[in-house]
Amino acid sequence: MDETALLARIDSQLHSLHLPGALENYRQLQDGLTAPEEALSFLSAILAAELDSRELHRYARNLRAARFPVLKELGAFDFTALPSLPKAKIEELASCRFIPAHETVLFVGNPGTGKTHLLIALGLEAVRRGHRVRFVTAAALVNELLLARTELRVPRLLRQYAAFDLVLVDELGYVPFSREAAQLLFEFFSDRYERRAVALTTNLPFAQWPQVFLDEAMTVALLDRLTHRSHLILCNGESYRLRQSRPGARGSA
């Protein structure tokens, strides 16, 4: 690399590392060096090592913070098992553009169709791209919210969740909520609405949401928020688990 290219590279490295003092001054410091190119190469290599190490640590930290129950990759997902699934759409979602756009992803369908797999796979892609992600089941989220309410710290809990660029809420609607729980969940989704991204899975067709959320008017408001600027992925088909366990199925004895 020639000197001009090296200087440009170091500028950008120092900028990425948030080292404005070094950025402002290093060019003067290298004036008068006998072998500036060698010195600049050395400096650039050190900065590259620091950038790599920070990224690796950030990735490991974000992966731990995400609390995925298991690791599921999009690459391990067999799209032929559920032909109605829009593969291109899911690949587009895996580019994670919906995250800075603060959009919502909804996986809706019957059990065993890979909703949780896809949810976690999206989350992993997001972590790889440097996003802060948190996985939580709807039941655990409700318990956290109820506990926070008794301890008068719902706003603090919402702020903690707001620190995550993407929250993955798994299994919404498997158990009916109390009125209080439904209200808190409504508060949770309203808080993130248009400010942060959410992806969730549910086995509940929208028509059945009022039964689970109890309050009709609130359910309409909730669905309105969740479906506005959202990506709806319908996962309806035969259960992958059942299919795998059927005699004669691939992988079974």
In the window 232-251, what residues touch ligand ADP (CB under 6 A)?
Answer: 235, 240-241
Contact letters for ligand ADP, residues 67-86 (x by CB under 6 A): -----x---xxx--xx----
Among 155, 163, 148, 238, smallest CA distance to 196 is for 163
C-alpha–C-alpha distance, residues 109 and 161, integer Å: 26
Binding mask 93-132 for ligand ADP (x = CB under 6 A): ------------------xxxxxxx---------------
* Count of C-beta atoms within a 10 Å radius of residue 5: 11
Closest separation in Å from C-beta 212 to ligand ADP: 17
Which helix (H) or strand (E) segment holds residue 59: the answer is helix 36-66
Closest to Mg ion by CB, 15 vs 67, is: 67
Q: To the nearest whole angstrom, how small is the minimum distance from the Cβ of residue 202 to Mg ion?
A: 9
Instruction: Compute the distance between CA of residue 108 and CA of residue 82 in angstroms, rounded to an integer.
Output: 13
Between the alpha carbon of residue 158 and those of residues 96, 139, 145, 227, the distances in Å are 23, 16, 9, 21
Q: Which partner from the list Mg ion, ligand ADP, none does 81 bind, CB cut-off 5 to 8 Å by kind?
A: ligand ADP
When the beta carbons of 115 and 196 are compared against Mg ion, the nearer one is: 115
Residues 172-201 that bind ligand ADP (CB under 6 A): 201
Q: Sign of the CA dihedral 42, 43, 44, 47?
A: positive
Side chain identity at residue 243, one-letter code: R
Binding site for Mg ion (CB under 5 A): 115-116
Nearer to Mg ion, 43 or 209 (CB): 209
**Which CB, 36 or 111, lies closer to ligand ADP?**
111
Strands (E), the chain: 104-109, 133-137, 166-172, 197-202, 230-235
**Minimum CB–partner distance for residue 1 and ligand ADP (Å):** 45
Residues forming the site for ligand ADP (CB under 6 A): 72, 76-78, 81-82, 111-117, 201, 235, 240-241
